[in-house]
Amino acid sequence: MKITFAAPRLPHSGSVAVPVMEERVLGPTAAKLDKESGGALTRAMAASRFKGKGEETLAVLAPAHLEIGRVLLYGVGKEGGTERGPWQNRGGNLLAQFNAAGEKNAAIVLDHSGPEEAAIAADLAFGARLRSYRFDKYRTKEKPEQKPSLEELAILVEDPAAAKRVFQPLEKVAEGVFFARDLISEPANVIYPETLAEAARSLEKLGVEVEVLDEKQMKKLGMNALLGVGQGSARPPRLVVMQWKGNPKAKNGPLAFIGKGVTFDTGGISIKPASGMEDMKWDMAGAGVVIGLMKALAGRKARVNAVGIAGLVENMPSGSAQRPGDIVISMSGQSIEVLNTDAEGRLVLADALWYCQNRFKPQFMINLATLTGAIIVSLGHEHAGLFSNNDELVERLVASGKAVGEKLWRMPLAEAYDKMIDSDAADVKNIGGRDAGSITAAQFLQRFVNNVPWAHLDIAGTTWSKKDAPTVPKGATAFGLRLLDQLVAEYYEER
């Protein structure tokens, strides 16, 4: 779908969306159309429940003498506002309605004068772009009416050139989101450690430096926790290191993002139930988001230095698989008693976190992982769990999440929880029992970060959606990517 920006002139065909404020106060374009249609819009609103609130819409067939086929009224509340989230949601919702109506061409009228007009227009377009995502490469028998129809969407705004300039970096973020969603959506026979590493190599054309460490290199570094997870699979593990050097003159260390990349998780010897196991193709979502984030930062030429690290393994049961009760020595030198081989993501991250801080001396480390089912019990699918050793980083993450609609909820860390993972046979055990499962998993990770400012995002409940949302179609969400891009842009990027 092509997105363009144009001056406020109504199209000669297709649908046009026009804003209406709360209590059915028509914007200039809606008022003009209402007059030209002999009051058709006013009568349609009177016969409906449409009031012009937040995200309400009302479709009205245009009278025959008008060139357009359909008018879509969309509510903007009392004054429209300038918050990014609502305008992005409107863009996504309007796109969905244009497709549902089978339109090929459509336009959205902004009718919003003022200094924020260009940014609002860009957010409308960004929301529409995000909602347009589809993972359909394996569908071979779709009927035409099952496919999206919209080919071109025009945003009608007073200063199209300014809106286009604001939209350009957002378009690059959307490309990163789409890349991550694609990787997370792929089945495990297509995406496994080697192929996911190759996908990350595609970022080199954007200027990202990409290294891929193999088993031999990781063994030499002492990454036995990560290697132990993958030893039961025929697919060899990989560690991907990506560097974006957008601010060569920076005196501080880089920002570091680390992702869990278990490309398929059977649970290993502690095997999962068969029902729902197919979902474990997206147990690499943390790594997918980190790779997509690096694409977004490089694509929009972010003026910041960033490191992305993805620990990639496949967790399979076999004669060579890790066993419950095994003890491994991690890269940090700490010994780990593996009591449950399905608590594997924390083992991968333990070595990846240690490697990251040793090599790059980052300003902070943020890891993303579909780490625990316990976080879904705690927070459902509305918030991701946030654990951190740094209050300032927490405040910035929460604010960034709120700004883009990717919500976080801080969970506790404390010595009492940490004692729950003390082992009788080693320095630490990889599970702490049924109680506080997501917290003890975070406590485990904290043992491998020393005093580096660090945050752990448990995205198990937010990585995959079973229903459509305004800017997130059903399926892989790439949750965390827009949040972290916002964090970088708002707090760390050179102005």
Query: Is it the case that residue 146 has pLDDT exceeding 90?
Result: no
d(CA 284, CA 413): 25
Which pLDDT tens digit goes with each residue over 334-365? 999 999 999 999 999 999 999 999 999 999 99
pLDDT value, residue 11: 77
- Supply the CATH classification number for the domain 172-492: 3.40.630.10
Question: For residue 64, what pLDDT is reported?
Answer: 73
* Position 144 confidence tier, pLDDT thresholds 50, 70, 90: confident
Nearest to residue 81, comparing CAs of 120, 25, 130? 120
pLDDT bucket at 186, cuts 50 / 70 / 90:
very high
Q: Residue 495: its pLDDT value, please? A: 79
User: Are residues 379 and 385 in contact, defined by beta-carbon separation less than 8 angstroms?
Assistant: yes
Tens of pLDDT, residues 291-308: 999 999 999 999 999 999
Rounded Cα distance, 50 and 40, in Å? 14
CA angle 427, 240, 347 (to 5 degrees): 20
Mean pLDDT throughout 249-277?
Answer: 97
Selected residue with higher pLDDT from 115 and 101: 101
Q: Please identify every residue annotated as catalytic.
A: 272, 346
Report CA-CA distances (Å) from 202 to 144, 205, 293, 340.
32, 6, 13, 35
Q: What is the pTM of this model?
A: 0.97
Residue 471: pLDDT over 90 = yes
Going by pLDDT thresholds of 50, 70 and 90, the confidence category of residue 78 is confident
455, 393 contact by CB (below 8 A): yes
CATH of domain 2-159: 3.40.220.10
pLDDT at 179: 98
Query: Beta 15-21 vs 2-6: how paired, if at all?
Result: unpaired
> What would the two tokens of residue 429 be?
């055990």
* Residue 112 reports pLDDT greater than 80: no
Q: 160-185 and 285-299 helices cross at what angle (nearest 10)?
A: 150
Contact 398, 386 (CB under 8 A): yes
d(CA 340, CA 370): 16
Where along the chain do its domains lie? 2-159, 172-492
- According to the model, what pLDDT value does residue 241 have? 99
